[in-house]
Structure 1
Amino acid sequence: MTTKFIKTLAVAAAALVISAASLSTPAMADGQFSFSFAPQGAQEQQVLGLGLLALALVNGVSEPGATVRQNGNFNSAGFNQQGRNNTGLIVQDGNGHRGTIDQRGNNNNCALFQFGNNSQGQCGQFGDNQSGVTTVFGF
């Protein structure tokens, strides 16, 4: 790996952690806590997009499309992808989660992480070159 790639990946990971911790506004409703991050600038979108693609590669995904990882019972995941080169990842750990990713455009990246029990989460991207992360904790 080149030094530039490693630095870019490190910046992407740092941006993800810092953004999720400091820029997100948590919401409490019906036994769940969630936060989302959707970068606004082109550079932030590119960095987060690279981080999500790296995460997809770690999970064994080498092509754009929809990927689901479920650990638990009574979980459901759905995708609507219209366009080209969209990548969506839903990870559900626990029971009774419902998650959806809706991508209408090209070159979008979204990850939805659900932990605990009985949470609802969604990611919607309507346009091109968008990146986002949503994490939901159900209790």
Structure 2
Amino acid sequence: MKRLMKTAGALAVLAALHAPAPAEAGGGVTMMITPNGDAADFINTGLRIYGLAQQYKGAKKKKNLATVKQKGVNNAAALSQKGAGNHGLVYQKGKGHTATASQGGYNNALGVFQFGKNTNLDVGQYGVGQTGIVLQGGW
């Protein structure tokens, strides 16, 4: 039994040594920030200021504001909002990103930022006064 365990352990080490590195295999990292208190107020205010600036560029008054900015190729994004006073932003830079974000309720703010390649996100935020930022990077 000990010999079998040693052989299995040796095979596992050899397999790990020959496994592709993360950059070769592709991968990614996601960080979701959902602050409380003053930090939430600060981020919410920042996203609203950005939203208001975008709104007045187009000289349109809207109940909700959704902005999608994409730089790169083969990116796709959908941003859905119900309620009033919601601000959403999806920013994609790179290639092969997909993002679906939805907000329901009132006075919510959400920012999604994707960089690199091949990241995928499906996020929802519902209620009153919710704030969130999602950062994704892929390789």
| Pair in the same fold by TM > 0.5 | yes
User: C-alpha root-mean-square deviation of aligned residues, in Å?
Assistant: 1.7
Distance of 1:57 and 1:106 partners within structure 2? 16
Amino acid at match of 2:50: L
Distance of 1:61 and 1:127 partners within structure 2? 23
Specify the alignment match of 2:31 in structure 1: 35
Do the aligned residues in 1 keep the contact of 2:51 with 2:65 (CA within 8 Å)?
A: no
Q: Which secondary structure state, in structure 2, belongs to the residue aligned with residue 127 of structure 1?
A: strand
Tell me the alpha carbon deviations over residues 60-119 of structure 1, each in whole angstroms, 9 at most, x when there is no partner: 344531110001111110112111111110000011100121101111000000000010
Specify the alignment match of 1:69 in structure 2: 69
Amino acid at match of 2:126: F
Specify the alignment match of 1:118 in structure 2: 118
Moved more, 112-121 or 47-56: 47-56
Do the aligned residues in 2 keep the contact of 1:102 with 1:124 (CA within 8 Å)?
A: yes
Aligned length in residues: 108
Q: CA deviation at 1:124?
A: 1.8
Do the aligned residues in 2 keep the contact of 1:111 with 1:133 (CA within 8 Å)?
A: yes
Do the aligned residues in 2 keep the contact of 1:106 with 1:127 (CA within 8 Å)?
A: yes
Specify the alignment match of 2:82 in structure 1: 82
Unaligned runs of 5+ in 2: 1-25, 57-61
List, as ranges, runs of 4+ consecutive aligned residues in structure 1 with deviation greater than 6 Å: none
Amino acid at match of 1:81: Q
Unaligned runs of 5+ in 1: 1-29
Distance of 1:137 and 1:52 partners within structure 2? 21
Distance of 2:128 and 2:77 partners within structure 1? 23
Q: Which secondary structure state, in structure 2, belongs to the residue aligned with residue 77 of structure 1?
A: strand
Q: CA deviation at 1:55?
A: 3.5
Q: Percent identity?
A: 35
Specify the alignment match of 2:59 in structure 1: none
Q: Which secondary structure state, in structure 2, belongs to the residue aligned with residue 50 of structure 1?
A: helix
Tell me the alpha carbon deviations over residues 9-35 of structure 1, each in whole angstroms, 9 at most, x when there is no partner: xxxxxxxxxxxxxxxxxxxxx611111
Residues 118 and 108 (structure 1), Cα distance of their counterparts in 2 relative to 1, 3 Å cut: same
Among 41, 45, 67, the alignment partner of 1:46 is 41
Specify the alignment match of 1:8 in structure 2: none
